[in-house]
Every structure is written in structure tokens, then in C-alpha cells.
Chains A and B, each alone.
Chain A
Amino acid sequence: MNQLTIAIIFYIFAAVTVLSAAFVVFSKNVIYSAFSLLFTFFGVAALYVFLSADFIAVTQVVVYVGGILVLLLFGVMFTNTIMQTELKADVLHMAPGILVTLLLIGGMLFTFYTTGSWMPGEMQLNGSVVESIGLETMSRYMLPFEMVSIVLLVALIGAAFLARYDKANKK
């Protein structure tokens, strides 16, 4: 594949990501917003692939599409009168909004131009990314990894406790 093809595919995915994200924000129908998130998440996953981070790309799909988006859709669908609710998608606080946006863009562009260009990572990746990730989480980042798992376990137990069928109250 030549550079032009890769550039074209990249811009297609970039456009899908940005346009669907804009649709999520500006849509007045919360169901459409939720379904539009699907394309945003997929576009972001595709952008990860362009950065050679295929493991993160698949994780993005698994966690965001398979977990968060489905949860969101369930939440939206099980809410009563969801179709009647008009979402407020008007533009409020025009001047401060534009100011903050300009400041953010300016700051990012300033950093980009003063540091020269993209910063390449210190270590070159050789071979499979999955193996390096596995080795690093099981050696150098063991403690944070285990802490995250404990946090997730606590969240799980909490959710199960809250959602549990309460016999004492029902009878």
C-alpha cells in the first residue's frame, strides 16, 4: 500500500470519528446519540491501529463498545419516556466557550511547535506488543495492576449488593 492510500483511509476514519462525535453532542434524540457513539468508538479504535497499537485498539472495542456502550444503551432504553424527552442541545455561554476553545487549541499548537514535532518513544518495540504488555504488567507494574483489580472487585461487589433482591423489604 502506498502512502496516498494510507492517508485516504486515515482521513476516512478521522472524519467518521469527528462527525459521529459531533452528532453525539448535537443530536436531540438520546437514542441516536448513544448509537452514534458506536462509530466514534470504532473510529478511535481505527486511529489506534494507525499508531500500531493494535492491542489497545481491540481493547478499546471490547471495553467501550462491548461494555460501556451496551450498558449505556440498556440504561437509555429502560428509562421511561425516553423518546419524549427533548435534549437541550442549544449553544449557551457563547463567549466563554469560544475563549476556552481558543485557549486550548492555542496551548496545544504552542506546545506542538515549540517542542519541534511529535515525540517518538524512548524504546523501540520489537515483535509482539501483547507479550511486552503482559511482561510489564506482571513485573514492573505489578502493584498498580493488582490495585486496579481490587478496585474493580470492590465495584463489582458494591453493584451486586445494590442490585440484590432484598427479601426483608419485599415481604
Chain B
Amino acid sequence: MSSSPSLNTWSDALSGFSIGWFPLGLVIVAAIPLVFIALYALTYGVYGERKISAFMQDRLGPMEVGFWGILQTLADILKLLQKEDIVPTAADKFLFVVGPGILFVGSFLAFAVLPFGPAFIGADLNVGLFYAVGIVALEVVGILAAGWGSNNKWALYGAVRSVAQIVSYEIPASIALLCAAMLAGTLSMQQITLMQAGPGGFMHWFLFTNPIAWLPFLIYFISSLAETNRAPFDIPEAESELVAGYFTEYSGMKFAVIFLAEYGSMFMVSAIISIAFLGGWTSPLPNIGGLELNTMTSGPVWGAFWIIMKGFFFIFVQMWLRWTLPRLRVDQLMYLCWKVLTPFSLIAFVLTAVWVINH
């Protein structure tokens, strides 16, 4: 376990570094999550998803390019880069171009408050969790811009569905995260993580220290699937109804940016659920007597490893669900949100409050 004096040392040192008036260190701090998203989307996101889906359907997936098709994504990227940049004649040029950008910025902004280990966080705000929940709003506007700008009925329907879904599911998701914030007594991402750190490893995580935490955990996980438009809540891009939803008209690099945004927000929600309920960058291994597994696997580098692994685990569950569950209908989706998840999240909220007061 790392002590709090060494908290955020790497990012603080980086952000203090500047050449003249130009804050180069700050730019680097912002660039690190960006490079991370790109690398992870390339390897685990695209290649991993194709392989995992293939294995789940008893197929082999991409096998031709490189050993076990490992270079397939690189070939795809080359193809995407070379593609002609098509803007439909009837489209609203400005919104069509600006939409994917806003969408990506929206999913990327939340990475500012995700702690990548005890020593690195973009900004240790004391409203970190609130910020991460609220900044999703920007994504909504990006989706609307893309859907409207395409000037295509499918795209517009996809955008409107997507926005209705994200705005609705924000409510149970926020209430579920509020339960975690109540348990921690703070909204700062680093402090929430520190509250769950200890020599017992996973035994200090909110999910295991609290008898009710599994309920907000489940509610947040389900809502996060809907917020990232993943199956079984992928009706915004339901290919059997809407071709491809709000990105029907996009191709080439703009399409790649939309995909990057989706993978970015997939990791974002996975990291948030890990931080809120599963101890963020803390090691899951406990100290057993003289065998100090927890102390051995803690530290800045191990912290980055654990948070990324926890995030990847939840992304794996998201992919797993995508290939096992059928898609919900629009009315079922709204029923689940307003009549099941929201009441249960309120119950979880009250129960957690009672538990926090009496504990």
C-alpha cells in the first residue's frame, strides 16, 4: 500500500514542467491517456473483441495477417487511413465533421480524473466522481450533432434513441455511484481508492466490506452498458433496424474516431466501476502472514497494472454479454430503466445511508 505523501507524485512532477510559458508537462499528462486509449483500442478493443466474439461462436476469427491474425488491426488501420473522406452532399457539412470530434472529446475528458495508479492522475479534483458522471453530457451533444448532421433518417433515429437511452440511464448510474461516494465520504477518485486500500487486498473493497454494495454495483454495471450503447442495449445502432445508427453515413477516419470514442467510454465506465466498488489501483492480493503479497504488488507501476487489468476485465464482461444476450426492444429498455433500475437504486441509496450511519 502506498502512503498518501507519495500520492500523485508523477503527475504533479509532470504538470510542473514547462518550457517558458508553454506548459509542456500538462500536454504530456493529457497525451498519456490519449495514447493509452489508442493502443488499447487497437489491440484489446478491436483485435480482442473480434477474437473473443469468434471463440464464443466457435469460430477462429482473423487468422490470415500475421501469426493468429495479430496484424489484422494494423491492416484495417491502413485501410481506414487510405479511405476517401466522404461527406454526403445532403449532409450538414459543419455538424457532420464536428460531431465525431465532440463525441471523442466527451469520452476522453473523463480520463482527466481517472487515477492510473497512486502516482498518476490527470487532475485530482475533489469533485472527481461527479465530474466523470457529468461530462458524459458532452458525448450526448456529439451524438446529436452526428445524427442530425448526417441528414439521414436512420442516423437521426439512432441519435435520438441513443440520447434518450444515455439521459435515462444516467439516473440509476448516478444514484448507484452516489452510494459508493457515501461509503467513501468523498468524491475525489484518489481518496475513494485510498479508502479501499489496505493490507487485506480485496477484503477492503467496498463490494466486500458492505452488505448492500452489490446492489449499486450491479445497477451501475447494467446502466454503464446502456450508457456506452453496448449490447444488450445497443438499439441505437441496431443493425437489423437502423443499419448502423447515428454513424450510418460515416466512413474512413471519422468512423475510426467514433469507434475510438466508444472504446474510450467502455474503458472509462469500467475504470469508474473498478474505482467505486473494486478498489481502483489497489492490489487484490492480501498479505497472508509473513507472505506479504499485497505489499509486493503495490506501488505506482503495479497500481497502473491493476487499474488497467480491472478495466480490461469489465470490458471482457461487456464483450461476453454482447455475444450472449439478445437486444432489448425500445420499450423494454425504458421499462428496465425507469421501473426496475431507478427504484432499486433508490432502495440501495437508502440502505447504504442507513448502513453508513449505523456503522
Q: How many Å lie between the Cα of A70 and that of B130 in the bound state?
A: 19
Which of A59-67, A84-92, A93-101 binds B?
A59-67
CB-based contact A54/B170 at 8 Å: no
Q: How many Å lie between the Cα of A129 and that of B188 in the bound state?
A: 12
The one of B92, B140, B187 in contact with A66, judged by C-beta atoms closer than 8 angstroms, is B140
| SS of A interface (majority) | helix
Task: Count residues of B near A (Cβ-Cβ below 8 Å).
Answer: 36
Interface of chain A residues 66 through 90 with chain B (CB within 8 A): 66-67, 69-70, 73-74, 77
Q: How many Å lie between the Cα of A5 and that of B160 in the bound state?
A: 40
CB-based contact A73/B141 at 8 Å: yes
Interface of chain A residues 100 through 136 with chain B (CB within 8 A): 128-130
CB-based contact A70/B126 at 8 Å: no
CB-based contact A8/B137 at 8 Å: no
Distance in angstroms from A91 CB to nearest chain B CB is: 25
A4 at the interface (CB under 8 A from B): yes
Q: How many Å lie between the Cα of A55 and that of B18 in the bound state?
A: 28
CB-based contact B131/A70 at 8 Å: no
Q: How many Å lie between the Cα of A73 and that of B79 in the bound state?
A: 35
The one of A4, A54, A59, A69 in contact with B141, judged by C-beta atoms closer than 8 angstroms, is A69
Distance in angstroms from A131 CB to nearest chain B CB is: 8
Distance in angstroms from A134 CB to nearest chain B CB is: 10
CB-based contact A73/B94 at 8 Å: no
| SS of B interface (majority) | helix
Distance in angstroms from A14 CB to nearest chain B CB is: 17
Distance in angstroms from A87 CB to nearest chain B CB is: 16
- Identify the closest chain A residue to B156 (Cβ): A77
Q: Known contacts A58-B134, A61-B135: does B18 contact A5 (CB below 8 Å)? A: yes
B residues less than 8 Å from A50 (CB atoms): none
CB-based contact A58/B21 at 8 Å: no
Q: Known contacts A66-B167, A73-B144: does B134 contact A61 (CB below 8 Å)? A: yes
- Identify the closest chain A residue to B16 (Cβ): A1
CB-based contact B137/A58 at 8 Å: no
B336 at the interface (CB under 8 A from A): no
Distance in angstroms from B178 CB to nearest chain A CB is: 12
CB-based contact B21/A70 at 8 Å: no
A residues less than 8 Å from B144 (CB atoms): 70, 73, 77
A residues less than 8 Å from B94 (CB atoms): 32
Q: Known contacts A54-B127, A55-B130, A61-B135: does B140 contact A5 (CB below 8 Å)? A: no
CB pairs A–B below 8 angstroms (22 shown):
A1-B15, A1-B23, A5-B18, A5-B21, A31-B95, A35-B95, A42-B138, A54-B131, A59-B134, A61-B138, A62-B130, A62-B133, A62-B137, A65-B140, A66-B136, A70-B140, A70-B144, A73-B144, A73-B148, A74-B160, A74-B163, A129-B126
Task: Report which B residues bind A (CB closer than 8 A).
Answer: 15-16, 18, 21-23, 26, 92, 94-95, 98, 102, 125-127, 130-131, 133-138, 140-141, 144-145, 148, 156, 160, 163, 167, 170, 186-188
Task: Report which A residues bind B (CB closer than 8 A).
Answer: 1-2, 4-5, 8, 31-32, 35, 38, 42, 54-55, 58-59, 61-62, 65-67, 69-70, 73-74, 77, 128-130
Assuming A54-B125, A70-B144, A73-B141, what are 15 further A-B pairs, CB within 8 angstroms? A4-B21, A35-B141, A58-B131, A62-B137, A65-B141, A66-B167, A66-B170, A67-B137, A69-B137, A70-B137, A70-B163, A74-B163, A77-B144, A129-B126, A130-B127
